Amino acid sequence: MAALTRINGPRDLDRLGPQQLVELAAEIRAFLVDAVSKTGGHLGPNLGVVELTIALHRVFHSPADRILWDTGHQSYVHKLLTGRQDFAKLKSTGGLSGYPSRAESEHDVIENSHASTVLGWADGLAKANQLRGRGDHVVAVIGDGALTGGMAWEALNNIAAAKDRPLVIVVNDNEWSYSPTIGGLANHLATLRTTDGYEQFLARTREVLERTPLIGRPLYETLHGAKKGLKDFITPQGMFEDLGLKYVGPIDGHDIEAVESALQRAKRFNGPVIVHCITEKGRGYSPAEQDEIDRFHGIAPIHPDTGLPLSAGGPDWTSVFGDEMLQLGREREDIVAITAAMLHPVGLTKFAKAFPERVYDVGIAEQHAAVSAAGLATGGLHPVVAVYATFLNRAFDQVLMDVALHKCGVTFVLDRAGVTGSDGASHNGMWDMSILQVVPGIRIAAPRDADQVRAQLREAVAVDDAPTVVRYSKGAVGPAVPAVGRIGGMDVLRAPEGAPERPDVLLVSVGALAPMCLEIAALLDAQGITSTVVDPRWVTPVDPELPPLAARHRVVVTVEDNGRVGGVGATVAQALRDAEVDVPLRDFGIPQQFLAHGSRKDVMAAIGLTAPDIARQVTGVVAVLGGRFADEAEGVSQE
């Protein structure tokens, strides 16, 4: 790593010659494979942008020039070149974030790792530069997958309107987002990749004509003046220039000299320019190059030589859903699946293989996914829209006005709900229940184990006149948590021993936190505090049997892996007020703040969402209530 260790900042690249840059690129790839194989992280995307990132930092002078990354998971090389080479605790507490982070470096601008936003950022920064008279450059790096998102095209429409406002857009075209990029834009870019550009044609023509006496030069100028027609004839890159955007490319994204030359031309152009670079996701690491699923987009720790996982995990929530979807597909021809460029990550691979005509990958376009699902439902089908919980935030209006208002039977399956941890603030699925519970008619299920995922998914797809939601956690699914009884539609997970007339605590357990709630109950029992633990299964609407059950307890405690504001606790409290049940309620959940990256366990401990923390606080509440009830009883007897 001789060259890499001498890079403390981008300007250290300036003194390297062509061969040294090639050696540096090789060192960076070796470093990434070694480091990320130990910690896990986004390996494939970063292996694909090594030369591109080197060229960007040689041509542009960050941080004065703003280099913006969409979605940021391909920023590891950028981190290395800006002085951050300690990857030992990548994505762990106290270590580097897996995305750009303003707290880490002045070279990082955008922390939001939701795709298709970078062009909006770039448009705003370019406008700010223009209004404030600054000559700094704005460079937006966006993948071909992120270009399938509608926000990217909304931004392009605005960017193209100002032909004298400098802005460089680098399209990192590797044919992949999480999964292979699909859609009309992908087909267009594929055509560009396989067609010689008009620049090469004109270069060859000029070489011939300039050797022709008298008429050669005038004829070349005539041809060059007609370049728009030539472009449309030779390559369909005119789509971008029809928008008013100068187009440069396609460029071999692994040829540093070629990328630098293209970026220098774009830098000199006084207007918006697209630089189209062709790269290979996972380049230089054969296990990634041979991975047909996602080219090692995101990995757990692996053996660096083989690319095989270091440990075989048990079944996870995603695979349980995927297997049940496959079974439902066999049983019901009306079941169709929709995903937003994440077929494999959300568990739909088996369904897609069995029923390819019944799965729709809409690209990174969650809003379109929801509206299209409304159309499918209106057409007599039952769509299942599978996305990460944090990404459904982007489609709230469509869930509300297109699905719910029209009473469409659409099931939204939310993976990675609650604290996800290592991917940081933008990936925690902590807003979905707060956002969705305001939707009229919606029904939200939070399964506690694999059996409940299967059962509640079936209950959800049986609803044909309202949106339904099934949300579950990230990672391995634990053992089954059996019910010991049923009250209304709620499962009783633990009943107080000895059948006390009025138990102290009603613990309302939400989803995957059921084992924690049982642990809390055991800790309370050790303090002589009696408790009932129930799993409402469907948290919205509130089960009508919950208020009368709450009235038979001294205090109600809700525990959820969602934000406390507008969460299940708030909804239960409202239901108790509506039923005129005057029982104190304590709600435990995620504080309404952006959480630092770290393991799920570390994050949960940091926010106090652990069994000992909650049991300690509940013990204090019961102690106060016990004193109050004792005083009231004494007052009654004295009268």
567: its two tokens: 């969460």
CB atoms within 10 A of CB 609: 21
Q: Are 415 and 472 in contact (CB under 8 A)?
A: yes
Q: Are 78 and 51 in contact (CB under 8 A)?
A: no
Catalytic residue among 58, 66, 246, 281: 281
Of the listed 27, 51, 324, 366, which one is catalytic? 366
- Determine whether 255 is exposed, middle or buried from the number of CB atoms within 10 Å of its CB (0-12, 13-18, 19+): middle
- Residue 134 is among the residues annotated as catalytic for this protein: no
CB 47 within 8 A of CB 283: yes
DSSP state letter for 393: G
Beta partners for 316?
A: 476
Instruction: Enumerate the known binding-site residues for Mg(2+).
Output: 144, 174
Helical spans, DSSP H, in 339-449: 349-354, 366-378, 389-392, 396-398, 432-436
Most distant CA pair in the chain: distance in Å?
Answer: 121
CA 242, CA 227: separation in Å to the nearest integer?
13
Taking residue 83's Cβ as centre, other Cβ atoms within 10 Å add up to: 15
Annotated binding site: 73, 113-115, 144-146, 174, 285, 366
Contact 153, 123 (CB under 8 A): no
394 is catalytic: yes
Q: Cβ(82)–Cβ(30) under 8 Å?
A: no
Residue type, 572: V
Q: Is 407 a catalytic residue?
A: no
Catalytic residue among 231, 394, 537, 564: 394
Cis peptide before 236 (omega within 30 of 0): no
| 191-196 contact pairs (CB < 8 A, 24+) | 191/235, 191/236, 192/235, 192/236, 192/237, 192/249, 192/250, 192/276, 193/250, 193/278, 195/234, 195/235, 195/236, 196/234, 196/235
Q: How deeply is 215 buried, as exposed, middle or buried, from its count of CB atoms within 10 A (0-12, 13-18, 19+)?
A: exposed
For residue 537, give the nearest of 454, 469, 444 by alpha carbon: 444
Binding residues for thiamine diphosphate: 73, 113-115, 145-146, 174, 285, 366
Contacts of 617 (CB under 8 A, 6+ apart): 586, 588
**Chain centroid, CA 612 distance in Å:** 31
Helix (H), strand (E) at residue 241 = helix 238-242
Q: Which of 469, 427, 421, 479 has its CA nearest to residue 448?
A: 479
Rounded distance, CA 510 to CA 447, Å? 8
First to last CA, the chain: 85
Rounded to 5°, the CA angle 145-148-154 comes to: 130
Cite the active site residues.
281, 366, 394
